[in-house]
Structure 1
Amino acid sequence: MTTTRTVAEEVRNLLDYLLSAEIAAYTNTVSERGTRVSWHATDPGIPFLVSRGDPTLQDYRRWAQSGSYSAVLFDGALLQITYDVEGGEIAAHRLAYIPCPYRLDRDLVRQEAILDVIDLHIANEPTNMVLHSAIRFDFDPGAAAPGHPAAHMTINSAHCRIACAAPLHIGRFTDFVFRHFYPDLWKAHLPFFKRSAARDAGPRTLTEDERKNPHIYWS
């Protein structure tokens, strides 16, 4: 049976590995509150979302300032991991990979507060941004509707919702991120990433209409 405790332990194990392998520069404490597993924000008074639009530089900066992340990777990218658990199973999740808007000095990322490093780039080279898109995997069966699959991936635009076969286990999510965006690291740590990459977080959720259109499927 899936519980908040088992999910939280899996997230802790992931973050501990990323930190010990020096893939993550910082990690946040895993939070268990009621049915939700997430992170402990360092400044919860700062709103997490101010709009439902596409992520902006200011969104990244606000998340860095408030500590609204599970991990800061070595290059300044953020991982945001949130699961809701109800009735012994995953009820919802929000799994996001937010690339850093600038190419950061990796030594600075480890030595200085991430917000200070970002503000340095904003001040010195504001237009020299990296046009990488955030990627988010959402699972919200309560909001499922035509054009809004229960499990979906959002990329490039808030209106882009590509149906996924099922909710994602944390291992499958991190395997996807590192396999596609950090292939050298993925190969170097292959035993770790592949160990839980074959697991699902719940049953298949594709509808017949979603099967007729391009979607993300795995066996």
Structure 2
Amino acid sequence: MNNRKNILREIISITYLLMECNLSVVQNFPIEKSNRDGSISVEWKNIKNLSISLKNISYIDIYNELDDNRDYNIKLLDGALIHMMYRFKDNELLSHRLVFYPSPYLESYQNDPEIYEIDEIYADIVYKNIVAFPIRFDYNKDLIDGEFNHPKSHATLGQYKNCRIPVYGPMAPRTFIEFIFKNFYSKAFYKYLNTKLPDYCCPFNTIEKAETTELHFNLAYN
């Protein structure tokens, strides 16, 4: 996974696959951008205002700003937005930010159920008791805040400031996309993506020993 070109190719491959399966309606292909500190980011062109996602405002306002500015890699058929951003230096992974922003507007379509009967991507997300909230996977090589406080690799559910669930290690794009579709678009995953996603990039372990004794995401591979 410590290979910028592999990550770039994997995101491109995933983007084309989602387009071919008609699961992506808008997409921004990844680019490489040189930063002042000598690092290189894999992101999309013309990023506008990602800091909006960290502000103390309603989720619908965050979603609207990202959507209006087209600040995402992929916009899914149901309006969900996907971010996949990585930063490298000397081909070493420094950080990543992987986010799933489900659409907060599905409830407005409940009066037209025929929409959902046509396309299987909606099958898992149309129930009225579902609450949309973002899911984020972060990795930062330089975090030294200590075990349990701020794991180098962690998951955040919703907008909770101190929600940092330890993760086994950095997450490859393919792993992230599989997690999102398998858990939130299960029917679409098994129909369109199960055998077509690119191979995994090689992962590595960053979780602290003490963190493994707590509830965490295990990304170890055989």
- Give the TM-score of the pair, scaled to structure 1: 0.79
Tell me if 1:72 matches 2:75: yes
Q: CA deviation at 1:88?
A: 2.2
**Contact map agreement 1:172 1:200 (CA 8 A) in 2:** no
Name the counterpart of 1:174.
177
Name the counterpart of 1:148.
150
Please, which of 32, 35, 38 is the counterpart of residue 43 of structure 2? Answer: 38
**Contact map agreement 2:95 2:141 (CA 8 A) in 1:** yes
CA separation of 1:38/1:148 partners in 2, compared to 1, >3 Å: closer, same or farther? same
Tell me if 1:59 matches 2:62: yes
CA separation of 1:63/1:5 partners in 2, compared to 1, >3 Å: closer, same or farther? same
Residue 49 of structure 1 aligns to a residue whose secondary structure is helix
**Contact map agreement 1:79 1:96 (CA 8 A) in 2:** yes
Name the counterpart of 1:125.
none
Map Cα deviations across residues 60-88 of structure 1 (whole Å, 9 max, x no partner): 11101111100000000000110112222
**Separation in 2 of the partners of 1:82 and 1:183?**
24
Map Cα deviations across residues 98-123 of structure 1 (whole Å, 9 max, x no partner): 00001166999xxxxxxxxxxxxxxx
Once structures 1 and 2 are overlaid, which stretch shifts more, 143-152 or 71-80?
A: 143-152
Matched AA of 2:181: F
Q: CA deviation at 1:55?
A: 6.2
Tell me if 1:48 matches 2:50: yes
How many pairs were matched up?
194
Map Cα deviations across residues 175-208 of structure 1 (whole Å, 9 max, x no partner): 1001100100111121024x535x444x201112
Tell me if 1:204 matches 2:205: yes
Q: Structure 1: any 5+ residue segments left out of the alignment?
A: 109-127
**Contact map agreement 2:93 2:141 (CA 8 A) in 1:** no
Q: Structure 2: any 5+ residue segments left out of the alignment?
A: 35-39, 116-127
**Separation in 2 of the partners of 1:183 and 1:205?**
29
Matched AA of 1:79: I
Considering Cα pairs closer than 8 Å and 6+ residues apart, tell me whether 1 or 2 has the greater RCO: 2
